[in-house]
């Protein structure tokens, strides 16, 4: 859900009902990693890790191992040793993981368990909750801490923004804890859950929050803290995307102004335009002879589209429409569900605002509030009115 690819939530952000009470805060989180690759082979360099497999148990200062999936077992090539096992466990170390499809090593630390399922490797990394929060914040908010230019921002803006950003990651993760329980872990490392890039870089460590905040509803349940890159000046309720969403009153709806101009007006994604030809649209929607395309709105955002093709009028939900366009034409083709459409002889012009679903915290808007000297608690209360802010140890 970071500010670059956070069209997730339009079609790819699924609701997950969870009754976690804020008192039940786990110390660690299990993440399914390398989800993007689903590798059948990896090369791992482990440092300072205890390694256990097939009855072996040793503490290794520096170890290089290759692992290959073989149905529901793994092949472990450890120097001259070549053996099969159901799993291998690396405890308390740092790792570089190399996958055939990517030349850049992926860096992690924590406890790593590797097994195989139907010929694909299954990698589960266990890390302390606050380490996960820090990595998630760097993955989802990282570039926003390095603005290209800003005139005279408040000297404490990074401190306040990091507290608000970490509250987003912490609360969202805990509200969705166990989303992948059938697969043996809590969350994945993609925008389906939260982007998780691995071991923190040195420059990211400077932004560890000085205060740990958890957002919860009046019943004490952790709030699902949606966030997006840029609202374009228009925030909407979760019920715009999900009709049966419970407790939409905790999310601000309407104009994203706080006594001044639109707060995210300086975002590079504030407005956008794109053109989709009739041939491209017909290919994405798998139909023929489209002549009309009319959006339907709720809270100034598109909730569905009506189109006319060779067989008559059809209706499609906005989330499904954007998903089909993204898969066929690229995920940045239509950046949000806030747009108008103009029809031409060749196709359709989209004129839109913002980047993402417009629900919850606007990353660029919240940063603008921090620039002005707004405290983290005020930022959170602005975007999540009525939510209770609980400070945790």
Task: Give residue-wise pLDDT tens across range 194-204.
Answer: 989 887 665 55
> CA dihedral in degrees (44, 45, 46, 51; nearest 10)?
50
pLDDT in tens, 23-45: 578 999 999 999 989 999 999 99
Residue 31 is predicted with a pLDDT of 96
Round to whole Å and give the CA distance between 375 and 392.
Answer: 18
pLDDT in tens, 295-322: 999 999 999 999 999 999 999 999 899 9
For the chain, percent of residues with pLDDT exceeding 70 = 92
Cα–Cα distances in angstroms (integers) from residue 393 to residues 6, 23, 176, 354, in the given order:
30, 12, 21, 36
**Which one, of 125, 115, 54, lies nearest residue 92 by Cα?**
125
Taking only Cα atoms into account, the Rg of the chain, rounded to an integer number of angstroms, comes to 23
DSSP 8-state symbol, 21: B
Residue 102 is predicted with a pLDDT of 85
Look up tokens 């009470």; give the residue: 21
DSSP 8-state symbol, 229: S
Residue 201 is predicted with a pLDDT of 65
pLDDT in tens, 109-144: 999 999 999 999 999 999 999 999 999 999 899 899
Residue 192 is predicted with a pLDDT of 85
Residue 4 is predicted with a pLDDT of 37
The 3-state DSSP class for residue 191 equals coil
> How much is the average pLDDT of 254-264?
88
Backbone angles phi, psi at 389, to 5 degrees: -100, 115
**Does 65 score more than 80 pLDDT?**
yes
| Average pLDDT score over the chain | 90
Residue 244 is predicted with a pLDDT of 83
Round to whole Å and give the CA distance between 167 and 161.
Answer: 10
pLDDT in tens, 142-199: 899 989 877 789 999 999 999 999 999 999 999 999 899 999 999 999 988 998 988 7
> CA dihedral in degrees (10, 14, 19, 25; nearest 10)?
-80
Pair of tokens at residue 41: 């082979």
Do residues 346 and 219 lie in contact, with contact meaning Cβ atoms separated by under 8 Å? Answer: no
Q: What angle do CA 372, 375, 380 make, to 5 degrees?
A: 110
pLDDT grade for 284, boundaries at 50, 70 and 90: very high
Residue 8 is predicted with a pLDDT of 41
Do residues 363 and 370 lie in contact, with contact meaning Cβ atoms separated by under 8 Å? Answer: no
- b/e map 365-386, b = 16+ CB within 10 Å: bbbbbbbeebebbebbbbbbee
For the chain, percent of residues with pLDDT exceeding 90 = 78
pTM assigned to the model: 0.90
**Does 21 score more than 80 pLDDT?**
no
Point out which residues pair with 227 in neighbouring strands.
361
pLDDT in tens, 246-255: 888 999 999 9
**Which one, of 14, 91, 26, 8, lies nearest residue 52 by Cα?**
91
Round to whole Å and give the CA distance between 316 and 300.
Answer: 17
Q: Cβ atoms within 10 A of the Cβ of 240, count? A: 23
**Which one, of 360, 384, 356, lies nearest residue 1 by Cα?**
356
Backbone angles phi, psi at 80, to 5 degrees: -80, -10
**Does 104 score more than 50 pLDDT?**
yes
């Amino acid at each position: 859900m970071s500010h670059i690819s956070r069209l997730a939530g339009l079609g790819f952000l699924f609701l997950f009902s969870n009754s976690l009470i804020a008192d039940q805060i786990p110390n660690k989180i299990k993440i399914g990693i390398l989800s993007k690759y689903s590798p059948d082979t990896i090369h791992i360099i482990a440092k300072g890790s205890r390694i256990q497999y097939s009855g072996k148990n040793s503490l290794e200062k520096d170890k290089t191992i290759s692992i290959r999936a073989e149905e529901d077992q793994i092949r472990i090539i450890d120097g001259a040793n070549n053996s099969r096992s159901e799993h291998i466990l690396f405890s308390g170390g740092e790792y570089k993981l190399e996958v055939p499809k990517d030349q850049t090593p992926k860096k992690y630390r924590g406890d790593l368990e590797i097994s195989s399922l139907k010929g694909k490797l299954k990698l589960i990394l266990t890390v302390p909750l606050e380490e996960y929060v820090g990595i998630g914040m760097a993955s989802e908010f990282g570039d926003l801490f390095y603005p290209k230019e800003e005139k005279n921002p408040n000297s404490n803006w990074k401190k306040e923004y990091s507290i608000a950003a970490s509250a987003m990651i912490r609360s969202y993760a805990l509200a969705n804890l166990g989303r992948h329980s059938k697969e043996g872990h809590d969350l994945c490392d993609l925008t389906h859950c939260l982007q998780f890039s691995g071991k923190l870089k040195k420059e990211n460590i400077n932004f560890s929050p000085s205060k740990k905040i958890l957002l919860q509803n009046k019943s004490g349940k952790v709030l699902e803290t949606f966030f997006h890159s840029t609202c374009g000046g228009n925030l909407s309720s979760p019920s715009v995307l999900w009709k049966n969403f419970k407790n939409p009153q905790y999310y601000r709806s309407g104009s994203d102004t706080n006594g001044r101009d639109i707060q995210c007006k300086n975002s590079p994604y504030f407005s956008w335009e794109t053109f989709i030809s009739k041939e491209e649209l017909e290919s994405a929607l798998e139909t023929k002879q489209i002549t009309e395309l009319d959006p339907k709105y709720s809270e100034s955002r598109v909730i569905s589209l009506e189109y006319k093709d060779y067989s008559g009028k059809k209706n499609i939900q906005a989330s499904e429409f954007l998903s089909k366009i993204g898969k066929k034409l690229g995920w940045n083709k239509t950046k949000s569900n806030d747009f108008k459409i103009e029809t031409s002889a060749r196709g359709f012009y989209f004129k839109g605002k913002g980047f993402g679903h417009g629900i919850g915290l606007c990353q660029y808007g919240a940063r603008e509030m921090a620039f002005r000297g707004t405290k983290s608690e005020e930022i959170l209360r602005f975007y999540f009115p009525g939510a209770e802010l609980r400070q945790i140890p």
